[in-house]
Amino acid sequence: MIIWGSRGLTSTVDSQPFHCPQCDRQRQGDLKQVRTFFTLYFIPLIPLSVAGRYVECTSCGGAFAEDALTYDPEAERQETQMQMLRVMVMAALADGRVDDGERGEIRKQYMELAGLPIPEDTLNREIELASASGANLNSFVAGLADQLSPHGKALLVQLALRTMAANGDLQPGHQQQLAQLATTLQIPQDQYLELIRHLSEMDNEATG
Ligand SMILES: [Zn+2]
């Protein structure tokens, strides 16, 4: 009787430093490839398809999707800060211009977010780019909504609201963009109103 079949064999095809999500630090990662072999009498003879690839941390042994190799938490943090800055600029621009009060609020919130002051030329450039883009707060946020956690969405609303309210009352353009945000961020309307109410109260307590 001829005994034949198939089995998967795992081999290491690459090894490089990566940010291990489990260790939460830089580790050596082995890129593993599982290949299916045709076997005869249980001996792998002919390589068939590649069944899958994954990254294995050599420190904790955790296995992760291949894109873990290119994940850079520092780059992601900077990218998030830049997007939140753009949200604030778009929020300020909802009434057509970024005035001094709004600029001050953007600077203050960026400092809280990034732990660093925003360079003047970066802020000026972002305002120019946002004005020239033809986008508004909601069209910009629509491109981010899918990547945001509920916490990220709440932070975004907070940044937008505080920037718009820098000079006290919201202008009609501000109100219009703010009212659409619930739909753009896919937050149920009652939760959204509750969030706005909560944020307004927090700010009143802080200033009053
Ligand atoms: Zn690890």
Q: Quick: pLDDT tens for 139-153.
A: 999 999 998 999 999
> What pLDDT was estimated at residue 208?
52
> What pLDDT was estimated at residue 71?
87
Residues 6 or more apart whose Cβ sits within 8 Å of residue 114: 81
Long-range contacts of the stretch 46-53 (C-beta < 8 A, 24+): 48/6, 51/8, 53/13
CA of 59 to the centre of ligand 1 (A): 5
Number of CB atoms found within 10 A of residue 133's CB: 13
> What pLDDT was estimated at residue 22?
94
The residue ranking higher by pLDDT, 74 or 159, is 159
> What pLDDT was estimated at residue 202?
82
Closest to 27 measured CA to CA, from 37, 38, 35, 15: 15
CATH of region 73-207:
1.10.3680.10
CA of 63 to the centre of ligand 1 (A): 9
- Indicate the domain borders of the chain: 4-70, 73-207
CA of 150 to the centre of ligand 1 (A): 27
CA of 58 to the centre of ligand 1 (A): 7
* DSSP state letter for 145: G
CA of 51 to the centre of ligand 1 (A): 23
CA of 47 to the centre of ligand 1 (A): 30
Query: Do the beta carbons of residue 137 and residue 90 sit within 8 Å?
Result: yes
**Structure confidence by residue, pLDDT tens digits, 113-138:** 999 999 999 999 999 999 999 999 99
CA of 183 to the centre of ligand 1 (A): 39
> What pLDDT was estimated at residue 168?
87
Whether pLDDT at 181 is above 90: yes
**Structure confidence by residue, pLDDT tens digits, 32-65:** 999 999 999 888 888 888 889 999 999 999 999 9
CA of 33 to the centre of ligand 1 (A): 18
Instruction: Categorize the per-residue pLDDT at 76 as very low, low, confident or very high, splitting at 50, 70 and 90.
Output: confident
Query: Do the beta carbons of residue 106 and residue 85 sit within 8 Å?
Result: yes
